[in-house]
Amino acid sequence: MIGLKVASDRALLDALALLVDDLDPTPESVAVRARSALVERSSSDMITMRLLSDSVHAPGRPRELAFTGLDLRFDPVVGGWEVTGPARAGTSVVARWPGGQVTAAVAAGRFHVERVPFGPVRFVLRGADASGRDHVTPWFVA
Amino acid sequence: MRDRDNTELLIDADRGDTAAWHEIVRRYARLVWAVPRSHRLSREDAADVCQATWLALAENLSRIRRPERLGAWLVTTTRRETLTVLRLRGREVPLDLWEAADDGPTPEERALARDAGLWRAYATLTDRCREILRLAAFAPELSFTQVAEAVGIPVNSLGATRGRCLAVLRRRLGVEVGR
């Protein structure tokens, strides 16, 4: 330990890198999920919706996010989230997560998704503009 | 065969070249994992944050304006989601540092088993110090400007902050010596 105490900054950081690699390595499951991310890409002609607000700063209440095309309210259910909200345009909302998705109709300006799993998710608003293009949120951890 | 640089890898991956994508993941998976873990996110939350980062990169392959700064882009993206998840979990919840996802020994237990004083000293640092030092350890190619942007502090204070973090680490190693 005395040797590390007097080591150069680079030597100390190199020792730290070796130790972290040994004690907290990147799990193989994380690398596998990373490698599979490429197949989850959306069509390149989708429009990305902008995040307007996120109630993450108000702990203890259901999380609510507002995007340019729709709002999302997350209420906990067994194994995931029930997601509801108004959609300001479009015919349906698709909730997507790695390896799965579910579609909900927009009725009277609102949609309801019974369950999305915990973890990364994104939402697609089908036919959201006059040209019929889809709008999509960025990926985020729900 | 010559290694492809980041520009080539991003272009090839955007065309659907899975080998190029896997090479990007191989180069940066360790750096991306370091960000949520240096903020003491659990392994499960850290895994979700990392996956969101890789999904975001896959979506933005053609929009990375400065491929030579891909590492900094990944750190910035991962850090943003890390901070969101931290707020969702709330700092008032007791943090289970290095919580294991299985029944195996935790990193702390393994460190104790092999008398890793450096690990114990590192674990007592602030989140900011752990993040700066882990980035410096894993990605020495990142410039001061890139690290400063990624961790959200002024570039002209990064050198001093990093120096203080290393000094604290050394002092605590000294305490280890005295034990």
pLDDT tens digits along A69-99: 999 999 999 999 999 999 999 999 999 999 9
CATH architecture of B1-91: Orthogonal Bundle (1.10)
CATH number of A43-141: 2.60.40.10
**Per-residue pLDDT tens over the stretch B115-148:** 468 888 898 999 889 999 999 998 888 888 888 8
pLDDT at B103 over 50: no
* Contact of B129 with B39, CB cutoff 8 Å: no
ipTM: 0.90
CB-CB: which of B50, B55, B110 is closest to A40? B55
CATH architecture of B105-179: Orthogonal Bundle (1.10)
Q: Average pLDDT of chain B?
A: 83
In chain B, where the domains are located = 1-91, 105-179
Is residue A3 very low, low, confident or very high in pLDDT (cuts 50, 70, 90)? low
Percent of chain B with pLDDT over 90: 53
The radius of gyration of chain A from alpha carbons, rounded to an integer in Å, stands at 21
Q: What is the C-alpha separation between B57 and A37, in angstroms, rounded?
A: 9
pLDDT of residue A56: 79
pLDDT at B8 over 70: yes
Which of A51, A55, A139 should be substituted to probe chain B, the one whose Cβ sees the most B Cβ atoms within 10 Å? A139
In chain A, where the domains are located = 2-37, 43-141
The string of DSSP codes covering A56-103 is GGSTTS-EEEEESSBEEEEEEETTEEEEEEEBSS-SEEEEEETTEEEE
CB-CB: which of B137, B173, B174 is closest to A17? B137
pLDDT of residue B115: 46
The radius of gyration of chain B from alpha carbons, rounded to an integer in Å, stands at 18
> Chain A, 52-111: which have a CB under 8 Å from a chain B CB?
54, 56-57, 59, 63, 98
| B60 touches A at CB < 8 Å | no
Q: Average pLDDT of chain A?
A: 90
**Per-residue pLDDT tens over the stretch B58-87:** 999 999 999 988 998 999 999 999 999 988
Query: Which residues of chain B make contact with A140, given a CB cutoff of 8 A?
Result: 52, 81, 84
Is residue A58 very low, low, confident or very high in pLDDT (cuts 50, 70, 90)? low
The reply to whether domains B1-91 and B105-179 share a CATH topology is no
